[in-house]
């Protein structure tokens, strides 16, 4: 088996142009999903029964169906549906089929990531014992202040490893965006490969690229975790044991 190294080198350069698109999907998705996911967490932990049920149903639906299927479904449904709405309901002449397909990618990944993050945030909030909330109230802080200053910072620290996982998973699943004709890393590799049927080489190249990108994300999170968890690091035992005399 001979690998076409020349082709691999060219593909590598080509594929680098897809990285901004890949990261764009990841970052936009996270920026939108984080607040939405947090809202959903609040709904889940709240008193409203209907809200709780709806949130639970949403999460189990999104997490219980394959992303590929969601993409196929949304990508056949959304454009047609939007086209119908624009043409028939609003009477406008905008051609929905020319819209940047990355928007559909956003929709799919935001739907998924919101569900995942809502679970991540929920379990993280529950790791902060409620005594600290009571202590905050007892010295005159209100609930909002206690959440912002005491509870959420600790919950976020606890959630960082899971947020890292979520981000890495998201990064990997952006490779499905080619199904919606988004020109991300995977799509570019496939296009390059299709001319000379060098699929194997192209896939090897993007394997490497994805490993690199994922390691990068994990590295960034690792540093963040270390900085955020400074308050958990016990001083030397001797210090901690020295008692007031």
Please tell me the distance from the alpha carbon of residue 117 to that of residue 103, in angstroms, as a whole number. 20
Please tell me the distance from the alpha carbon of residue 178 to that of residue 22, in angstroms, as a whole number. 11
Nearer to another protein by Cβ, of 197 and 244: the residue is 244
> Which member of 85, 134, 194, 199 binds another protein (CB under 8 A)?
134
93 binds another protein (CB under 8 A): no
Smallest gap from Cβ 147 to another protein, in A, equals 12
Query: By CB under 8 A, how many residues form the interface with another protein?
Result: 31
Interacting residues of 12 by C-beta distance below 8 A, sequence separation 6+: 205, 209
> DSSP letter at 3?
-
Please tell me the distance from the alpha carbon of residue 160 to that of residue 127, in angstroms, as a whole number. 13
For helices 19-45 and 185-196, the axis angle rounded to 10 degrees is 140
Please tell me the distance from the alpha carbon of residue 111 to that of residue 123, in angstroms, as a whole number. 19
Smallest gap from Cβ 43 to another protein, in A, equals 23
Nearer to another protein by Cβ, of 125 and 171: the residue is 125
Smallest gap from Cβ 219 to another protein, in A, equals 24
| Stretch 208-237 residues interacting with another protein (CB under 8 A) | 230-235
Residues that bind another protein (CB under 8 A): 128-129, 131-132, 134-142, 145, 149-150, 153-154, 157, 230-235, 239-244
């Amino acid at each position: 088996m001979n690998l076409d190294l020349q082709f691999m080198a060219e593909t590598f350069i080509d594929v680098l142009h897809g990285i901004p698109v890949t990261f764009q999907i990841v970052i936009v998705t996270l920026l939108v999903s984080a607040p939405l996911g947090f809202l959903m967490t609040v709904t889940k932990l709240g008193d409203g029964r209907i809200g709780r049920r709806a949130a639970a149903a949403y999460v189990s639906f999104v997490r219980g169906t394959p992303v590929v299927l969601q993409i196929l479904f949304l990508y056949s449904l959304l454009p047609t549906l939007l086209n119908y709405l624009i043409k028939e309901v609003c009477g406008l002449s905008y051609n929905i089929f020319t819209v940047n397909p990355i928007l559909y990618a956003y929709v799919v990944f935001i739907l998924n990531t919101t569900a995942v993050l809502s679970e991540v945030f929920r379990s993280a909030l529950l790791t902060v014992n409620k005594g600290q909330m009571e202590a905050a109230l007892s010295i005159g802080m209100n609930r909002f202040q206690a959440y912002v200053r005491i509870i959420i910072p600790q919950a976020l620290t606890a959630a960082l490893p899971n947020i890292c996982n979520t981000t890495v998973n998201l990064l990997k699943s952006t490779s499905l965006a080619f199904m919606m004709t988004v020109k991300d890393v995977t799509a570019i590799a496939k296009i390059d490969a299709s001319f000379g049927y060098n699929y194997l080489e192209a896939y090897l190249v993007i394997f490497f690229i994805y490993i690199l990108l994922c390691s990068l994300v994990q590295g960034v999170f690792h540093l963040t975790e270390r900085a955020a968890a400074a308050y958990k690091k016990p001083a030397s035992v001797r210090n901690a044991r020295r008692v007031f005399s």
